[in-house]
Structure 1
């Protein structure tokens, strides 16, 4: 094993140990203690803090940074891994969300981000208006991934019940109610979507969907690499595709995410929403989509009628 591989393994082991310690501490907390509110949005207290959000206000962006933004369960791990494969092809480590998410971790993480060499792969679940000001001022390129709201809801429900840093729900019905009212971590899917839809035509913003990636990953990989100005050969695209399929990432999940692998990589399917939605819930979601996103560019891109009807 080379020295770089040994270092990579050590870093990975440290990340796993940190995640396990966070989970252990979270297991001692009540459901109410596991979340807190910042600027009207819920966040998991085990991995986020008001102090970290305040520290991010002084975050110094660089024009060469790459930022991926998602609402939870819209392909976050997927896109972070893809960007790492594109930007750091010779590295053997596997990024964890705790490392990549700018709002996750302790306040001193902001200083550690400052020390990281360029180009930096960053990610976030933040609303547009909560993105650190310097990122917007320097017009950092932002890749935003959205997934249809029904599959997102079902995936998020399972994630809540398998992730020790989040409260558990005794039923899908209770979760659905909170999801629809935005009383889940990272807030309302629809508010998130509306905020980003306002910026869909900006040159430094690219919005693609989880479903587009599932349907033809090579085409989306080429679109992503072109957007970020990363030159890749056909062979490199093929290699990245093979390394970032859901099957491939799930197979490595014990290595990359330890005992939390199954929580982060459950199914990755399109259409799984029909396993939990009843007719009334489906109609409620249909009405919400019609009210919020019908007629918008993002709404059209989500192809709701194709992916969200029985």
Structure 2
């Protein structure tokens, strides 16, 4: 685990180093969708097509700033607690944790062919936007936006890295009933972490004791994760894990009425009434 943790931090630091001096335009690599040029390339997408998924792979998916690093923490603890696995692609013993921000349609074909299990985490889009803006304008070496208004316009038009969060959601909604896919909501995870850990464990075929579930949940609270963020994610850790508090303060300060209305309308067009839209509880978490 220590070796894997160090490799993960090293990859984050490499991406940050590549970001230094780039403009926002330089940061975008287009492969149909805008991706971050610091971690994506033609060669990477070609290699992705040939990735051989294993049936017991654990694929974790979210749009950026929606909690995939949080899921990695939970699943790592779950594996370590229940089977003492110690984690490289072919060299990594099963089960492997694979994490991505990709849409379903961009995944390697072997994922669906081999029916690897996919856990997809969604967060309400207004908090997602604010968190994404905060990340860009807080992380050293990552190019910043000149203003919230500039970012909001690019975000709504899908011109940020990883593209449109609404396109991402619409694509995954088509697979919400797939037997190898489970969709969970960030706000539900935060509200009842212990129950969510149990649900995640059972989906992946782990059956830890009640004590083990509680221990994993205790280690995955915002406070606990934040306390060891620098160890697990290096210098950027404190920004990746921000305790989930600033969003609710900044949300009211950043969104003007016209922007609230624009996002409400976008949600209505894309997700209103569909199963994922209902699970997101937009009226609870997003209505101004």
Query: TM-score per shorter chain, which class?
Result: over 0.9
Q: Does 1:27 align with 2:20?
A: yes
Give the match's secondary structure for 1:143: strand
Pairs within 5 Å for 1:111-260? 112-164=88-140, 166-260=142-236
Q: Compared with structure 1, are the counterparts of its residues 25 and 75 closer, same or farther at alpha carbon in structure 2 (3 Å cutoff)? A: closer
Offset, 1:15: 4.3
CA–CA separation in structure 1 for the residues paired with 2:112 and 2:147 = 39
Aligned to 1:55: 47
In 2, Cα distance between equivalents of 1:47 and 1:164: 17
| 1:61–1:259 CA distance, 2 compared to 1 (3 A) | same
Any residues of structure 2 matched to 1:260-279 within 5 Å, and which?
260-269=236-245, 271-272=248-249, 273-279=251-257
- Cα displacement string for residues 254-288 of structure 1 (whole angstroms, at most 9, x for unaligned residues): 11122112221124247442231111100111111
Secondary structure of the residue that 2:176 maps to in structure 1?
Answer: coil
Show the counterpart of 1:67: 59
RMSD: 2.0
Alpha-carbon distance in structure 1 between the residues aligned to 2:72 and 2:141: 21
Q: Does 1:36 align with 2:36?
A: no
Stretches of structure 1 that go unaligned for 5 or more consecutive residues are: 1-7, 96-111
Q: Which residue of 1 aligns with 2:278?
A: 300
Q: 1:41 to 1:166 in 2, by over 3 A?
A: farther
**C-alpha deviation, 1:88, in angstroms:** 2.1
User: CA–CA distance in 2 between the matches of 1:13 and 1:222?
Assistant: 28
Residues 91, 230 of structure 1: alpha-carbon distance in 2 compared, 3 angstrom cutoff: closer
After TM superposition, the score normalised by the length of structure 1 is 0.86
Q: For 1:172 and 1:69, how far apart are their aligned partners in 2?
A: 26
Q: Which segment drifts farther, 16-25 or 248-257?
A: 16-25
Equivalents in 1 of 2:271, 2:18: separation in Å? 39
Q: 1:142-199 CA distances to partner (integer Å, 9 max, x unpaired)? A: 1100000000000011111223564310111110001101111111111110001011
Gaps of 5+ in 2: none
Deviations for 1:214-254, whole angstroms, at most 9, x for unmatched residues? Answer: 11111111111111111110000110011111111111111
SS in 1 for 2:266: helix
Number of residues of Structure 1 aligned to a counterpart in Structure 2: 285
Cα 1:164–1:126, aligned 2, differ >3 Å: closer, same or farther?
Answer: farther
Check if 1:85 corresponds to 2:63: no
From the superposition, tell whether residues 92 and 200 of structure 1 become closer, same or farther in structure 2 (CA, over 3 Å).
closer
Distance 1:186 1:165 in 2: 19
| TM-score of the superposed pair, with normalisation by structure 2 | 0.93
User: Residue 292 and residue 144 in structure 1: after superposition, are their counterparts in 2 closer, same or farther (change >3 A)?
Assistant: same
CA shift for structure 1 position 114: 1.8
